[in-house]
Amino acid sequence: MDDVSVETNLLDTLLETFVGRDDAASTTAALALLEANSGIEVCQRLLKKWKHLRPFTQKFIALVAELKKTNEHLTMNGLNRAEKEVKVLDEENDVSSDTLIRLYKKKKHTPVTKAMGVGFQEEILLDILSRLSVLPLLRFKCVSKFWKTLISDPYFIMKHQSHHKNDLNSQKLLVVEDMTTFFSSSLSTVQLVEDVQNLDCVSNIKPFDICNIYGCCDGLVLLGFVNRYDKQLLLWNPSTRESTVLPIQNLHQGELLSDWDMMQLVTAT
């Protein structure tokens, strides 16, 4: 048998070992990938030929689908983390098919340890937790290290936001009174009056004359504190009470900028 055939047989057996168990799911994943990309010629042709494809080929397509899904997850977690993972995998093994299989195995077989509790896959727990409001989630960060990591993860935060974006019960009206006192009220008409909360803004701000709310996005509020000599920009999350002072460069002393200028400046920083 020539080298190519030997290699093909070895890959065949390898795929069967790691992909073979879950036929229904891997077929579903493979077909979903081809159907989602049926605008691409190669996907169209593979779809047409699906019934006649070797099981090995079908499983390989399933692997590609899994890899795509994993990559998208990594992109959402930030390029740095993605680069680190790929670098580690590259160093561990040069052969590209081996890399695919390692990535697949890492994604598919999440170890169920005592720290995770019941055998929920990460995605299921993510789905359930993303339906909770912010306050209980913050409390649940101390359930275990795994839950803390999950709840703090940018992918989870994004999923949580998109789940609550259109929920009136989650939306709040922020009002500033007397420059120092903040009130938040639910936008749900039932709770409008009853749910008013007095919010403490952070205390690490120097004395100021004027406080402006410049805008808000994704649950974060941009506040500007101006006095005669200085201005400070603060990015504040009223739900979690976290805040961070933003560095401003190149602002003239005492100059009061318009709201639009402020937003532009912050975007450029």
Partner 1 sequence: MSSEKLLTLKTRDGEEFVLEEAMAFRSLTIKNATSNYTINNTPLPINVEINTMIKVIEYWKKHSERGISEDELMNFDKKFFKLLHNSELFDLVVAVDYLADKGLSNAACEQVLDKITGKTPQEIRDIFNINNDCTPTSLGG
Establish if 121 lies at the interface with partner 1 (CB under 8 A): yes
Establish if 252 lies at the interface with partner 1 (CB under 8 A): no
- Mapped onto helix, strand or coil, the DSSP state of residue 174 is strand
Q: How far is the CB of 147 from partner 1 (least distance, A)?
A: 8
Establish if 38 lies at the interface with partner 1 (CB under 8 A): no
Establish if 73 lies at the interface with partner 1 (CB under 8 A): no
Binding mask 80-119 for partner 1 (x = CB under 8 A): ----------------------------------xxxxxx
Establish if 245 lies at the interface with partner 1 (CB under 8 A): no
User: Secondary structure of the chain in the HEC alphabet?
Assistant: CCHHHHHHHHHHHHHHHHHCCCHHHHHHHHHHHHHHCCCCHHHHHHHHCHHHCCHHHHHHHHHHHHHHHHHHHHHHCCHHHHHHHHHHHHHHCCCHHHHHHHHHHHHHCCCCCCCCCCCCCHHHHHHHHCCCCHHHHHHHCCCCHHHHHHHHCHHHHHHHHHHHCCCCCCCEEEEEECCCEEEEEECCCCCCCCCCEEECCCCCCCCCCEEEEEEEECCEEEEEEECCCCEEEEEEECCCCEEEEECCCCCCCCCCCCHHHHHHHHHHC
Q: How far is the CB of 23 from partner 1 (least distance, A)?
A: 7
Q: How far is the CB of 51 from partner 1 (least distance, A)?
A: 6
Query: Which is closer to partner 1, CB of 16 or CB of 23?
Result: 23
Establish if 135 lies at the interface with partner 1 (CB under 8 A): no
- Mapped onto helix, strand or coil, the DSSP state of residue 60 is helix
Q: How far is the CB of 4 from partner 1 (least distance, A)?
A: 28
Establish if 24 lies at the interface with partner 1 (CB under 8 A): yes
Q: How far is the CB of 186 from partner 1 (least distance, A)?
A: 17
Query: Which is closer to partner 1, CB of 24 or CB of 193?
Result: 24
Establish if 202 lies at the interface with partner 1 (CB under 8 A): no
Under the rule (CB under 8 A), what is the footprint of partner 1?
A: 22-25, 27-28, 31-32, 50-51, 114-121, 123-124, 127-128, 131-132, 136, 139-145, 147-148
